[in-house]
Structure 1
Amino acid sequence: MTERFAVGSSPHIHAPLDTRKIMAWVLVSLLPAGAAGVWFLGASSLAVIATCVIVCVGSEFLWQRLAGQRVTVSDLSAAVTGLLLAYNLPPTIPLWMAACGSVFAIVLVKQFFGGLGGNIVNPALAARAMMLISWPVAMTTWTVQGVSGATPLAFLKGMSSAAAVSQAMSAATETASSTSPALHSLWNLFIGNVGGCIGETSAAALLLGGAVLIWRGIISWRIPVVYIATVAVLSLAFGRAGGPLYEVLVGGLMLGAFFMATDYTTSPMTARGQFVFAAGCGLLTALIRTFGGYPEGVSYSILIMNLTVPLIDRLTVPRILGEARR
């Protein structure tokens, strides 16, 4: 027998997508939301985005060089982390705070746990949580077209009934007060002409980006669809004043559902596990928004569910064909 075969460990069939290509598609899909943020919230948003991306990439480069590791910034994962962190910050955040959050995300949350694929929680969300604890005033100051005020979720927190919200939104529409700090029509919520974090305000842009990721097979529909649907159903069950549609369009739900909860490293591998994970995220988000002291619950719900992923994977692992049920 003269033929020789190469023997190696799996995988033996390689998909056309590698880490760099996947991250590049994520960056492309995030561009519409960033453009909407810069358009509606001002040029300061661009400075925050640039700071986070540059510091995240620089932090990963320096850490890997100092630690004697192979430099992997070319895989674009650090750039994605920086962009996602920037999208979770208000446009008025001081740039030094954004830089501190970027270093925290890359060094403490990602590299301390082994780098890409080793982190146990989403680095951008962990950095946002740290910044919210450290600088609560700067992290909750919102402006749109130079006017400061409450976000739609904060406004919703103070309303006692759906009728009150409907009446307030109708009044805002009739007076064309698109820059009102509290009152916003559903159209303004959809396009992003509201106060909030840079990348979370435009539901239309985020839906477009999410559709691109699903179309390219980068993410599955399971987590975003189940997550958003769970929040919508529970908002109706809990009697939230704005109603399901308002609840879905406001805050960071779209950004979290399509770009944060679907992170490969911190989400379940199995299909059943993804359903459980997404439903848990939706439940926690609805509970925090309804009964918590903080008007938004997306970041904390995803971080909490990130910690349950090993257990979810263990409980939902498919049974091997022919194996006896325990």
Structure 2
Amino acid sequence: MEKLIISPSPHIHSGDSVERNMYAVILALIPACLVSLAQFGLGALAVMAVSIGVCILVEWLICRYMLHRASTITDGSAILTGLLLAMNLPSNLPFWIVAIGAIVAIGVGKMSFGGLGGNVFNPALVGRVFLLIAYPAQMTLWPEVGQLTSYTDATTGATPLGLMKAMISDPSSAANLSVDMPSQLNLLLGVNAGSLGEVSTLALLLGLVYLLYKRVITWHIPIAVLGTAFVFGYLMHLINPIYPTGLFHLTTGGMMLGAVFMATDYVTSPMSKSGQLLYGALIGLLTVLIRLFGAYPEGMSFAILIMNAFTPLINMYMKPKLFGDK
């Protein structure tokens, strides 16, 4: 007599999994990682290695000795958090500061909420913003490109956003500072100072195309972020030409990295398509506002964390349609 085995749903599996999505995002980051390695060499490699290694170690230790459960390091989320944190850091940051950022990202930003799926804020950005507040001097020294064998003794320079901020603060200096501003072509290719993830818009766009092709993310959040920043940036430029154009906003700082790889985090972004559009639009708007009127030249990290906090509210009022509902 044959036995009938009854199991709970789902009965049809799509092949989708946490591991698949995490490693797909890591794969999509490879072009940007290669550009940062080509531009910063040893420093970029060191920051990536320390950040990823400490993230994996901290998650394993917490799972084993604090939560007393099986390790989750094989799902790829700790590796991705470490890589994203590294992409938000300068390539000359001392090892011990990178390690502190990784400990905060995993220990505070992720595991204190119970691990993957429970965190309210993007863990990598929690680590990055903590370091920015705790170590502002070290976090705002940006090595110039091409110093492949230098690390802590690399020659530093201003980022495009730093130059923009200086022009806004002192319009009379705009003519002199504009000489040091990279061209739009250099911004696309990554020939400019900045964090590891700021140096190539084109490489990050390749990652976006890959993630959309693999259906790891949808277009709603990235397009909402980038479209809003582009339009609002141009409106502000029309009001006052000292403000940069919308295209400048898209190709500088963490705009592309944040829109493609960080704002799209499954756990901390809204579930419905309409909610994602609102969420992305407000991130783009807040980023430009912070850049133009805030104390920091960059606003992407703060904008994403602010909207992470509003995600539960967006989910409450902008719910997806029930299956079968007309």
Which TM-score applies when normalising by structure 2? 0.90
Range with bigger deviation, 243-252 or 310-319? 310-319
Q: How does 1:173-322 map to 2 (within 5 A)?
A: 182-239=180-237, 241-320=243-322
**Displacement over 4 Å in runs of 4+:** 160-169, 319-324
Secondary structure (helix, strand or coil) at the match of 1:235 reads: helix
What letter matches 2:266 in structure 1? Y
Structure-1 residue corresponding to 2:49? 50
RMSD: 2.3
C-alpha separation between the residues in 1 aligned to 2:315 and 2:208?
24
What letter matches 1:23 in structure 2? M
Write out per-residue CA displacement over residues 73-106 of structure 1, whole angstroms, 9 at most, x where no aligned residue: 1111100000000000000100110001101111
Query: Any unmatched runs of 5+ in structure 2?
Result: 147-153
Structure-2 residue corresponding to 1:62? 61
Identity of aligned residues (%): 42
Size of the alignment, in residue pairs?
312
C-alpha separation between the residues in 2 aligned to 1:11 and 1:293?
50
Secondary structure (helix, strand or coil) at the match of 2:156 reads: strand
Write out per-residue CA displacement over residues 208-266 of structure 1, whole angstroms, 9 at most, x where no aligned residue: 11111111000011101110110111111122632111111000000000000000000
* Cα deviation, residue 13, structure 1: 2.5
Write out per-residue CA displacement over residues 181-221 of structure 1, whole angstroms, 9 at most, x where no aligned residue: x4211111111111100122210110011111111000011
Structure-1 residue corresponding to 2:37? 38
Q: How does 1:93-112 map to 2 (within 5 A)?
A: 93-112=93-112
Secondary structure (helix, strand or coil) at the match of 2:167 reads: coil
Structure-1 residue corresponding to 2:167? 159
What letter matches 2:232 in structure 1? L
What letter matches 2:46 in structure 1? A
Secondary structure (helix, strand or coil) at the match of 1:287 reads: helix
C-alpha separation between the residues in 1 aligned to 2:319 and 2:247?
35
C-alpha separation between the residues in 1 aligned to 2:18 and 2:322?
29
Are 2:105 and 2:126, in contact at CA under 8 Å, matched by a contact in 1?
yes
C-alpha separation between the residues in 2 aligned to 1:11 and 1:101?
39
Structure-2 residue corresponding to 1:14? 13
C-alpha separation between the residues in 2 aligned to 1:215 and 1:162?
44
What letter matches 1:86 in structure 2? A
Give the 3 Å change call, closer, same or farther, for CA 72–104 of structure 1 in structure 2: same
C-alpha separation between the residues in 2 aligned to 1:103 and 1:138?
18
Which TM-score applies when normalising by structure 1? 0.90
C-alpha separation between the residues in 1 aligned to 2:272 and 2:13?
20
* Cα deviation, residue 143, structure 1: 1.1
Secondary structure (helix, strand or coil) at the match of 1:121 reads: coil
Are 1:238 and 1:290, in contact at CA under 8 Å, matched by a contact in 2?
no
Are 1:51 and 1:98, in contact at CA under 8 Å, matched by a contact in 2?
yes
